[in-house]
Amino acid sequence: MQLFVGLGNPGAKYTRNRHNIGFMAVDAIAADHGFGPWRAKFRGRVAEGSLGGEKVLLLKPETFMNLSGESVGEAARFYKLGPGDVVVFHDELDLAPGKLRVKRGGGHAGHNGLRSIHAHLGAEYARVRLGIGHPGHKDRVSGYVLQDFAKADAGWLDDLMRGISDGAPWLAQGKPDRFQNAVAQRMAPARPAAKPAAPPAEKEPEEPPEDDRSPLQKLVDRFR
């Protein structure tokens, strides 16, 4: 079994926050791949299903972001999962909006949800970093991540969620490159093939110049 964790904050007022993009990602996977209903467990909400032939448990911790590791650790211990069985979807300030990267291990870069997971699980889990951009100054970060996505973000956000859902089976099979390719195809779909150039128009035959010779001149010219 694998554990796919989406990070966010519980409650309707946080639903469209930038900080909740992890919740959005696992919601999209659950909806598109026929997962069971969400139910309360491990101090969060869980849904069970399969991706690419692999059994997967989706988890949305409801401990609030700063204590996410308590929920993740509880689920991992129950199913006897190690860090290598866990994938965490989270917002990433250091990536432009709509960009996505997968990595395993490393630091938490000040992200409070990851910091908590580090404390309960260690650092060697996989992360799907979902770019939301940076407000420009560290003093503005807290307010920025707790703001809703702008209406102008709706297009790329929808494409990103569709790409994550498309690629989720590859991620479950341990093929992050193919997962990222599936997302990239949604974010920058192939352009339609160029239409073949139209053949050049045929020229109409030119009319012969008007013959203004006299009948006598025509007769003379005929016998030259």
At 123-162, the pLDDT tens digits run 999 999 999 999 999 999 999 999 999 999 999 999 999 9
Site of tokens 């630091």? 107
19 catalytic? Reply is yes
> CA 65 to CA 160: how far, in whole Å?
22
Give this prediction's pTM.
Answer: 0.84
70-84: average pLDDT: 97
- pLDDT digits over 151-198, tens only? 999 999 999 999 999 999 999 999 999 999 999 999 986 556 566 666
Q: What is the pLDDT of residues 5-30, one digit of tens each?
A: 999 999 999 999 999 999 999 999 99
SS3 105: coil
Q: Residue 60: its pLDDT value, please? A: 98
* Tokens 């917002």 sit on residue: 91
Q: 19, 90, 111, 118: which is the annotated catalytic residue?
A: 19
Task: Return d(Cα 165, Cα 124) in angstroms, integer.
Answer: 24
Say if residue 160 is exposed, middle or buried (CB neighbours under 10 Å; 0-12, 13-18, 19+): buried
The pLDDT score that the predictor gives to residue 188 is 86
| Burial status of residue 192 (CB atoms within 10 A of its CB: 0-12, 13-18, 19 or more) | exposed
For residue 202, pLDDT over 80 is answered with no
Residue-level pLDDT at 223: 61
Distance between terminal CA atoms of the chain? 103
Q: What is the pLDDT of residue 172?
A: 97
Residue length of the chain: 224
The pLDDT, as a whole number, for residue 98 is: 95
Q: What percent of the chain has pLDDT over 70?
A: 84
Q: What is the mean pLDDT of the chain?
A: 91
**Other CB atoms within 10 Å distance of the CB of residue 85:** 17
Percent of the chain with pLDDT over 90: 82
| CATH class for the region spanning 2-187 | alpha beta
Question: Beta 44-51 vs 126-131: how paired, if at all?
Answer: unpaired
Residue 190's pLDDT is what?
57
